[in-house]
């Protein structure tokens, strides 16, 4: 691999001049420019991004921290981020925490060391240590999915989405509605979605039996088990179940199918996430599309805006959503 020095020598000019035609900055005569371009062409020379970054302090790399890379949600998010970023000549440096909180913090450090121009974090649980770390990092930062004071956020409207879905159940005539959530330390998925559900129930003067409210984790099996517990422990069996993720919903459906409950007649069900799967289960699942890809777009735009314009006023974007009514409710 040739260096700028060699190119300069071959074209009988100084490195400065070569650098000028590379970045077309400053004055270069047409003759010289041609001569240099010819040499560049012939040698297939490409300047080292490495050296350039060292000097300019810009890497054109954005770090993306994900709780997992295996899910569709993450995939769509990254695709969205990448679309905007690559358009602007940036690339993504991936950091997969596998839901390990300690790793989240380590990665923050690691990405800083690598001098990324910005960091996008798909957040799950936010703890003080993390927030503290983010703030002292002093790198353009965008958090997706969880609100963090004092930094840029792109949020899902978990509360209203949950209310809307609950409201749909109510409109369909359900009065005994059960709920499968996740731990409330996850403020967005755990706390806000549950609050949306409860508030809407309350709003309609509908009571919620304790046994109707169950908790799972982010996988299908967990939805299956939660549904089982609801059925087994309820004094009055509910007529509907609202699961806070599609996977939980699909697990629940599985339980219902295996135990011959007809959906939606004996038990209506809905999820959140608009996973591809949701469309092809039987019956097709009513769910909420969070437009992950466009959330990715927003996050990427935000971070670019922050890096290039040094925009400092913190911004919170709440993305919209769409309730997809299918046959499970």
The yes or no reply on residue 220 touching a copy of itself (CB under 8 A) is yes
Judged by CB under 8 A, which of 21, 161, 231, 250 binds a copy of itself?
250
- The sign of the torsion formed by the CA atoms of 168, 172, 173, 177 equals negative
Residue number, 1 or 210, with CB nearest to DNA: 1
Q: Pick what 234 binds: DNA, a copy of itself, none; C-beta below 5 to 8 Å, kind-dependent.
A: none
Report the nearest approach of a copy of itself to the CB of residue 139 (Å).
Answer: 11
Cβ distance to DNA smaller for residue 46 or 88: 46
Give the C-alpha separation, 40 to 57, whole Å: 25
Closest CB 138 distance from a copy of itself, rounded Å: 9
Task: Pick one of DNA, a copy of itself, none as the site partner of residue 320 (Cβ within 5 to 8 A by kind).
Answer: none
Nearer of residues 42 and 327 to DNA, judged by Cβ: 42
260 contacts: CB under 8 Å, gap ≥ 6 = none
31 binds, among a copy of itself, DNA, none (CB under 5 to 8 A by kind): DNA
Residues 6+ apart with CB under 8 A from 77: 66, 122, 144, 292, 293, 295, 296, 299
Q: Is the CB of 65 or the CB of 143 nearer to a copy of itself?
A: 65
Q: Does 116 bind DNA (CB under 7 A)?
A: no
Contacts (CB under 8 A) with a copy of itself, residues 90-109: 91-96, 109
CB 27 within 8 A of CB 19: no
- Choosing from 16, 42, 51, 132, the residue that interacts with a copy of itself (CB under 8 A) is 51
Query: Does residue 25 interact with DNA by CB under 7 A?
Result: yes
| Site membership for a copy of itself, residue 276 (CB under 8 A) | yes
How many binding residues for a copy of itself (CB under 8 A)?
Answer: 44
Helix 101-113, helix 128-137: angle, nearest 10 = 10
Give 54 or 88: the residue with its C-beta nearer to a copy of itself. Answer: 54
The single residue among 20, 163, 174, 247 that binds DNA, judged by CB under 7 A, is 20
Nearest to 317 by CA among 329, 328, 306: 306
Stretch 46-65 residues interacting with DNA (CB under 7 A): 46-48, 50-52, 54-56
Q: What is the CA radius of gyration of the chain?
A: 26
**C-alpha distances in angstroms, 264 versus 27, 121, 169, 216, 322?**
73, 37, 11, 22, 21
Considering only residues 6, 72, 164, 184, which one is a binding residue for a copy of itself as defined by CB under 8 A? 72
Number of CB atoms found within 10 A of residue 91's CB: 13
* DSSP-derived secondary structure for 38-84: HHHHHHT----HHHHHHHHS---EEEEEES-SSSHHHHHHHHHHHHH
d(CA 213, CA 164): 18
Dist. CA 203–CA 184, nearest whole Å: 21
Dihedral sign, CA of 236, 207, 205, 176? Answer: negative
- Is residue 86 involved in binding a copy of itself (CB under 8 A)? yes
Question: Any contact of residue 228 with a copy of itself (CB under 8 A)?
Answer: no
- In DSSP terms, 178 is beta-bridged to 241
- List 71, 153, 319, 328, residue binding a copy of itself (CB under 8 A): 71
The CA distance from 218 to 292, in Å, is 17
| Site residues for DNA per CB under 7 A | 1-5, 12-20, 22-23, 25-33, 46-48, 50-52, 54-56
| Site residues for a copy of itself per CB under 8 A | 46-51, 53-54, 59, 61, 64, 68-72, 74-76, 78-79, 82, 86, 91-96, 109-110, 112-115, 220, 250, 253-254, 276-277, 280-282
């Amino acid at each position: 691999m040739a260096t700028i020095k060699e190119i300069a020598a071959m074209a009988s000019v100084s490195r400065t001049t070569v650098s000028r035609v590379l970045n077309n900055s400053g004055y270069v005569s047409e003759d010289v420019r041609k001569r240099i371009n010819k040499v560049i062409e012939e040698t297939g020379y490409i300047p080292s991004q490495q050296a350039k970054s060292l000097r300019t302090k810009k890497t054109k790399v954005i770090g993306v921290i994900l709780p997992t890379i295996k899910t569709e949600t993450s995939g769509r998010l990254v695709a969205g981020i990448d679309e905007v970023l690559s358009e602007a000549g940036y690339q993504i440096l991936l950091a997969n925490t596998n839901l390990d909180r300690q790793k989240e913090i380590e990665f923050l450090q690691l990405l800083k060391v690598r001098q990324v121009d910005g960091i996008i974090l798909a957040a799950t649980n936010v703890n003080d240590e993390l927030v503290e770390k983010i703030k002292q990092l002093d790198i353009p930062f965008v958090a997706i999915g969880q609100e963090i004071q004092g930094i840029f956020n792109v949020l899902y409207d978990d509360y209203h989405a949950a209310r809307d879905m609950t409201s749909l159940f109510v409109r369909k005539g359900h009065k005994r509605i059960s709920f499968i959530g996740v731990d409330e330390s996850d403020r967005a998925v755990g706390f806000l979605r549950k609050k949306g559900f409860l508030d809407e129930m309350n709003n309609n003067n509908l009571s919620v039996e304790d046994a109707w409210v169950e908790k799972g984790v982010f996988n299908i099996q967990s939805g299956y088990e939660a549904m089982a517990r609801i059925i087994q422990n309820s004094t009055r069996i509910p007529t509907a179940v609202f699961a806070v993720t599609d996977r939980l919903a699909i697990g629940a459906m599985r339980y219902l199918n295996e135990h011959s409950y007809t959906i939606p007649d004996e038990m209506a069900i809905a999820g959140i996430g608009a996973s591809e799967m949701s469309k092809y289960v039987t019956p097709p699942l009513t769910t909420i599309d969070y437009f992950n890809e466009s959330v990715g777009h927003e996050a990427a735009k935000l971070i670019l805006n922050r890096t290039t314009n040094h925009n400092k006023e913190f911004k919170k974007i709440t993305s919209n959503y769409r309730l997809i009514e299918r046959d499970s409710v």
